[in-house]
Amino acid sequence: MRRLCAAGGGYLDADTPVSRGSFEAAVYAAGAVLKACEMALRGDISSAFALVRPPGHHAGRRGIALRAPSRGFCIFNNVAIAAKAMLERGASRVAILDVDCHHGNGTQEAFYSSSKVLFISLHQHPYTLYPGTGFTHEAGEGDGLGYNINIPLPPMTGDDMYMKLIDEVVAPMLRQFKPELILVSAGFDTHRSDPLTRMLLTESTFLHVFKLLASLSEELKAPVVASLEGGYGEGLERGVKAAIASLAGLELEASEPKTESSRAVKSSITSTVRELEEATGGRWGIEWS
């Protein structure tokens, strides 16, 4: 990577071009998330949003993760690097919530056998979107069994069901896990206008997710550090604004009407939650109304 950039750039793979400055930018991106985590665990800040590029959650230990077709625009896994560093420096439990529309295959690969990291990913179903991983049965192995949580969502999932999952599945898991740090892979390509995906979310969901995280941070005494991942349309602007305002305790009204999921989507998600409970061995006692 360093040599390729020094030579003027090129392609790491079909999806991941690099320029002369990409290596330096990627190092700064990983360093920014790491610095934010250091400050958070020292008590200097209660939350942070690292507005970094390139993104990171598809990057695996040796580049491409879990036999994906590419690195998906990612060079270093900013969130995984920060989580591992914080564990090495004394943290006992770190939670990672990935809300990008694409599954965080690189992050899953990094912590698949660890019980010290609770990885939760909500993403468009892998049958319908890159990288083709993130099924409910991918629930961890060894000590990590039950700590790798995949919630694949059917295309056209609306605000109503996404918020329900956050409230009834994600939040209770975080409360039970009691992390010392909450990292967020903050992608906003779940927005209904995103050209690369097929979801129906609006800024109402982004506000809901980050307000809840701010509340959980206070409740659990666990700082929140978010790192920017994907987003390829107006949802990026709306999402970043909603996230930063919510973490800062500022009031921001949604300017878009909430979206509703179809009956078929609701039924599919209910089945997914049941599959998840089975895949994790009932570890989390999911209560789905």
pLDDT score recorded for residue 236 = 97
Choice among 57, 58, 103, 191 that is catalytic: 58
- Average pLDDT on 98-113 reads 98
Closest CA to 183 of 71, 99, 90: 99
Encoded tokens for 80: 């995984």
| pLDDT per position as a tens digit, 11-64 | 988 888 999 999 999 999 999 999 999 999 999 999 999 999 999 999 998 888
In this predicted structure, the answer to whether residue 194 has a pLDDT above a threshold of 90 is yes
Helices of type H across the chain: 2-6, 22-42, 78-88, 105-111, 159-165, 171-177, 203-220, 234-247, 263-279
Rounded to the nearest integer, the mean pLDDT of the chain is 96
- Average pLDDT on 229-252 reads 96
End-to-end alpha carbon distance in the chain: 48
- Average pLDDT on 147-173 reads 99
Q: Domains of the chain (ranges plus CATH)?
A: 2-279 (3.40.800.20)
| pLDDT per position as a tens digit, 112-145 | 999 999 999 999 999 999 999 999 999 999 999 9
* pLDDT confidence band for 258 (50 / 70 / 90): very high
pLDDT score recorded for residue 25 = 96
pLDDT score recorded for residue 66 = 81
Q: Is 137 annotated as catalytic?
A: no
